Structure 1
Amino acid sequence: MERIAATELALDPRLLDEEVVRRVRAGETALYEVLMRRHNRAVYRAVRAILRDEAEVEDVMQQAYLRAYSRLDQFRGEARFSTWMISIALNEARGRLRRRATEATLDDGTEGDATAPGFSETLPSDPEQQASALELASITERAVDRLPSDLRTVFMLRTIEGLDTADAAEALGVSEDVVKTRLHRARAHLRAALADAVEQSAPVAFPFPARRCNRVVAAVLAAIEATRH
């Protein structure tokens, strides 16, 4: 199957995930690409919420997809494929996190930190607006990265990826009330963090660059000169 065909099929709402899974099981393995293209963003965000390390994210995504492929016979359609896939991705990411912590402990004899340092799909056409949007996205990402892991994961799935409460709870293996509570706490943390960010950036807000200064000065001087004649 050509890549362009897979892209088109991934966007076709008439082809349900359950049908794709059935056909992959039946031997049309190339169709697995359709599932990956459909759910790459959600899987990325789930893994990224756990690891916070871009260097590892794609590797873990690949491992998650391979594990899901090997377990397709276990997918019963009781939950959405996206929810099932996210659950597998989260487990892979958590496994990587545990191994990272263990390796850090063995390396230096101390408790591993298991954290790493810390998009845009639709940007305005205006370059200045693009820069502002990217800066806001960067501030948001840094604030989300500072959230505790359980809050960060819920916020990523519910607010950034847009899963509903039931799907997020299913993927995480917790109750809907837990999801709601964690989301509320995550938003409270982020409001405080973003408020701090605004306070810190306030002194450099609303700049008046030299080119604008020059334009105003030139216009005023030109108007003054005109009145002298």
Structure 2
Amino acid sequence: MTSKTALKPHLEPFSALSDFEVAQRVLNGDMPLFELLMRRYNRRLFLVARSILKDDALAEDVVQESYLIAFEHLAQFKGPDGFGAWLVRIGSRQAMRMLRRRSRLGLVSNEPGLADEAPAPARMEPEQIQIDREASHLLERELDRLPRDFRIIFVLRELEELSTAETAESLEITPGTVKSRLHRARSLLQLRLSRPLAAMKADAFPFAGTRCDRIVATVFERLSAKS
């Protein structure tokens, strides 16, 4: 399962290509097509990094660094499946390195800002829109209070909707560990929330186009500077 971020029109003709096929084209010189892989996985990689760092700006930096690493080592991806899991492993390791570095320096992250707001359906009443946004922001804040290992599992299973097997592969842990941590995360969150989780998670951490576009543009700028 890939990210829910919509593709740009110029990428639509390539939307049916598998991750492995796209990677092979990039390795054969079609560098601009790397954008397709980024847009497929931007949200997932950002949410994983943010679940570790609890800071939007730092998470965005990690995503950019992770794509640069992935591009440099793209030939190591043997496929045909598992590109998303490979990216998550790169991203989570980068995020953990940053967390350890900041810890050694005695730095404390600021409270993360609100996520980019997604457009609300026109048919909804303004009062309901506000209620839903407040509920989503509450879920985001409570998720930040969970232990890091629980946060990552919840993000991948509930927000990105990966299967237990996909989550286990991404984090290099057993399916049983995924299940137990997810159960604990759900239980802890539900104790703190007045509404059912299912009614709140759909709008949590929306990945607006501005951030997605910025990540793509910055990565390509840095790749061009290296070439």
State the TM-score, normalizing by the size of structure 2.
Answer: 0.75
Aligned equivalents of 1:9, 1:154: Cα separation in 2 = 33
Deviations 1:47-95 (A, max 9, x none): 1111101121211110010011111111011642111111111111111
Match of 2:77 in 1: 75
Which amino acid counterpart does residue 141 of structure 1 have in structure 2? E
Taking CA–CA contacts closer than 8 Å with sequence separation of 6 or more, which of the two structures ends up with the larger relative contact order? 2
Match of 1:54 in 2: 56
Indicate if the aligned counterparts of 1:51 and 1:116 stay in contact, CA closer than 8 A.
Answer: no
Q: Does 1:124 align with 2:146?
A: no
Structure 1 unmatched ranges of 5 or more: 105-111, 197-229
* 1:156, distance to aligned residue in structure 2 (A): 0.8
The number of residue pairs the alignment matches comes to 183
Q: Secondary structure at the match of 1:77?
A: coil
Moved more, 139-148 or 122-131: 122-131
Aligned mate of 2:10, from 5, 9, 22: 5
For the structure 1 residues 19 and 85, does the alpha-carbon distance in structure 2 shift closer, same or farther, using more than 3 Å as the test?
same
* 1:38, distance to aligned residue in structure 2 (A): 1.1
Indicate if the aligned counterparts of 2:85 and 2:171 stay in contact, CA closer than 8 A.
Answer: no
Q: Does 1:101 align with 2:103?
A: yes
Which structure has the greater CA radius of gyration? 1
For the structure 1 residues 85 and 9, does the alpha-carbon distance in structure 2 shift closer, same or farther, using more than 3 Å as the test?
farther
State the TM-score, normalizing by the size of structure 1.
Answer: 0.74
* 1:117, distance to aligned residue in structure 2 (A): 2.1
For the structure 1 residues 154 and 116, does the alpha-carbon distance in structure 2 shift closer, same or farther, using more than 3 Å as the test?
farther
Aligned mate of 1:39, from 25, 29, 41: 41
Indicate if the aligned counterparts of 1:154 and 1:182 stay in contact, CA closer than 8 A.
Answer: yes
Which amino acid counterpart does residue 5 of structure 1 have in structure 2? H
